[in-house]
């Protein structure tokens, strides 16, 4: 009896082993599978930065990985289940062949990586100072907007490849509107390098990764604007039209703007006015108030007989920097636009379009001995005009590595306005 039970136990064990072996080999066998387009993460980039080297994030790498495991383990395997890395520590400038390593997993073993090595271009690191641009997300309550805003720092140094750095237009500081209060609030937000087209740039090294923004959620109020023109135009000159704002928007704490009934501007003397002028009035604002966004660019336009004016707005990327000598990177360090006012008779001004004007900057050889200069914007156009003005006249140009030349129609400074004045020759 005992021997019979023992025999049955042996038979049961053998049967179980046979069944298990059948399941493993026939039902759930070991198989191989190719996982395509596994992204490769570049690691130890900081070690390159210590040697003043960088890798462009425009370089992206993928590999195909042959994995081995049971059919059940590999049946639902995704690209995201594999982690591929390439360690850049210790590499130098130029094209480097770097091993691709696949992280271990209990679901599979790696049979092959295709390719097993990838070529990575390591370049010199360059740096540049970029301005901060503040943006808000979300909607503000009616008659509310941020005010008394300070941003620290106001610029950040970015480091990366020459192409990377040149592609950065500004550093964005994005503030959630819902985080602002009706009291002074300081928020710490991420610093994000942005291209002029509004796309973020990644892979750069920043001198500071966060930005402190201090602001108050203010009440906005529209009030009458009192503005007086004094004096008489010179003999033979007649004012044909005045464009004077009737109201102005101010902001501040509710208790500070509630008692504001009007804003009185300083007098504007037109006694020496000989041609159409666009004037920024000096506003006498009450304590603890400031201009709201809607009135940030408030101006008074005074037209005289025979001369009319038209404003044309150009973004900074419309200013051409004459091609610098080989080995130099040159860019304009501002996100502001340039306003060009063209003057002439009605027919001339009406016929003049923004595309008729070319804006450019001409740098001298001496300028290339500096890291930055304030350069005068120059203009070229073929259509007839009496003259034109631009504001601002000068912009900061950052020069990296060495030199730049330029040419074209020259400009001058109008003694009355301080703006760039170009007379058609």
pLDDT of residue 424: 35
Within 8 A by CB and 6+ apart from 273, the residues are: 233, 234, 237, 239, 302, 304
Convert the pLDDT of each residue in 291-322 to its tens digit: 999 999 999 999 887 677 899 999 998 999 88
Closest CA to 378 of 422, 414, 415: 422
Mean pLDDT, rounded, of the chain: 86
Predicted TM-score (pTM) of this structure: 0.56
For residue 281, pLDDT over 80 is answered with yes
Domains along the sequence of the chain with CATH: 2-124 (2.170.120.30), 126-214 (2.170.120.40), 220-295 (2.170.120), 308-422 (2.170.120.30)
Instruction: Retrieve residue 410's tokens.
Output: 């020259």
Nearest residue to 171 via CA among 206, 140, 121: 206
Nearest CA-CA partner of 142 in 222, 48, 247: 222
For residue 265, pLDDT beyond 50:
yes
Cα 301 to Cα 223, 244, 279: the distances in Å are: 20, 7, 6
Contact 113, 36 (CB under 8 A): no
Confidence category of residue 267, pLDDT binned at 50, 70, 90: very high
CA distances from 367 to 150, 296, 330, 403 (A): 33, 34, 11, 7
Contacts of 390 (CB under 8 A, 6+ apart): 338, 339, 340, 341, 359, 377, 379, 411, 419, 420, 422
- Two tokens, residue 396: 């900061």
Determine the length of the chain: 425
C-alpha–C-alpha distance, residues 97 and 61, integer Å: 13
Contacts of 255 (CB under 8 A, 6+ apart): none
**So what's the pLDDT on residue 25?**
57
β-bridge partners, 420: 390, 413
Instruction: Give the model's pLDDT for residue 425.
Output: 28
If DSSP codes are grouped into helix, strand and coil, which group holds residue 21?
Answer: helix
Label residue 22 by pLDDT band (50, 70, 90). low
DSSP class per residue in 254-301: HHHHTT---EEEPPEE-TT--S-EEE---EEPPTT-EE-GGGTT--EE
Residue 137 has pLDDT above 60, yes or no: yes
pLDDT tens by residue, 318-343: 999 888 887 888 889 877 889 999 98
221, pLDDT greater than 90: yes
Cβ atoms of 102 and 71 closer than 8 Å: no
Instruction: Note the pLDDT tens digit of each residue in 145-167.
Output: 999 999 999 999 999 998 889 99
- Segment 162-197, tens digit of pLDDT: 888 999 999 999 999 999 999 999 999 999 999 988
pLDDT of residue 418: 37
115-125 CB burial, b ≥16 within 10 A, e <16: eeebebebbeb
* The pLDDT value given to residue 294: 94
**Is the distance from CB of 43 to CB of 88 less than 8 angstroms?**
yes
Mapped onto helix, strand or coil, the DSSP state of residue 420 is strand
Provide the pLDDT confidence category of residue 102 given band limits of 50, 70 and 90: very high
Whether residue 393 is predicted with pLDDT greater than 60 in this model: the reply is yes
pLDDT (0 to 100) of residue 416: 35
Q: Stretch 78-91: mean pLDDT, rounded?
A: 93
3-state secondary structure of 232: coil
pLDDT (0 to 100) of residue 223: 97
C-alpha torsion sign, points 16, 17, 18, 20:
positive
With 50 as the cut, is the pLDDT of residue 407 above it? Answer: no
pLDDT at position 197, please? 82
Average pLDDT over residues 364-387: 90
């Amino acid at each position: 009896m005992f021997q019979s039970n023992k025999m049955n136990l042996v038979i049961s064990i053998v049967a179980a082993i046979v069944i298990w072996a059948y399941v493993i080999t026939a039902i759930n066998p070991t198989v191989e599978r190719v996982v395509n387009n596994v992204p490769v993460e570049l690691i130890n980039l900081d070690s390159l930065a210590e040697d003043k080297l960088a890798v462009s994030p425009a370089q992206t790498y993928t590999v195909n990985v042959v994995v081995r495991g049971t059919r059940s383990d590999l049946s639902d395997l995704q690209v995201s289940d594999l982690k591929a890395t390439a360690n850049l520590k210790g590499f130098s400038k130029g094209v480097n062949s770097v091993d691709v390593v696949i992280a271990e997993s209990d679901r599979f073993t790696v049979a092959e990586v295709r390719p097993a090595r990838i070529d990575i271009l390591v370049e010199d690191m360059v740096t540049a100072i970029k301005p901060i641009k503040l943006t808000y997300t979300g909607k503000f309550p009616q008659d509310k907007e941020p005010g008394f805003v300070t941003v620290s720092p106001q610029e950040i140094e970015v480091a990366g490849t020459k192409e990377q750095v040149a592609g950065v237009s500004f550093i964005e500081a994005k503030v959630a509107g819902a985080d602002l209060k009706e009291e002074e609030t300081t928020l710490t937000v991420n610093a994000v390098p942005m291209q002029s087209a509004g796309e973020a740039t990644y892979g750069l090294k920043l001198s500071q990764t966060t930005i402190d923004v201090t602001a108050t959620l203010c009440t906005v109020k529209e009030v009458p604007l009192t503005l007086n023109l004094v004096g008489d135009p010179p003999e033979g000159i007649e004012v044909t039209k005045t464009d004077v704002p009737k109201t102005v928007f101010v902001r501040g704490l509710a208790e500070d703007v509630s008692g504001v009934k009007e804003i009185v501007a300083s007098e504007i003397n037109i006694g020496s006015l000989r041609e159409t002028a666009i004037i920024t009035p000096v506003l006498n604002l009450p304590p603890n108030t400031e201009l709201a966004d809607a009135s940030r660019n408030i101006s008074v336009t005074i037209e005289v007989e025979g001369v009319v004016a038209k404003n044309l707005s150009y973004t900074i990327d419309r200013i051409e920097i004459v091609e610098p000598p080989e080995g130099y990177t040159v860019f304009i360090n501002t996100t502001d636009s340039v306003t060009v006012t063209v003057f002439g008779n009605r027919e001339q001004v009406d016929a003049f379009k923004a595309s008729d004007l070319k804006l450019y900057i001409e740098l001298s050889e001496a300028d290339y001995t500096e890291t930055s200069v304030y350069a005068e914007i120059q203009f070229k156009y073929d259509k007839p005009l009496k003259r034109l003005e631009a504001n601002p006249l000068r912009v900061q140009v950052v020069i990296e590595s060495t030199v730049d030349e330029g040419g074209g129609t020259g400009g001058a400074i109008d003694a009355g306005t301080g703006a760039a004045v170009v007379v058609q020759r």
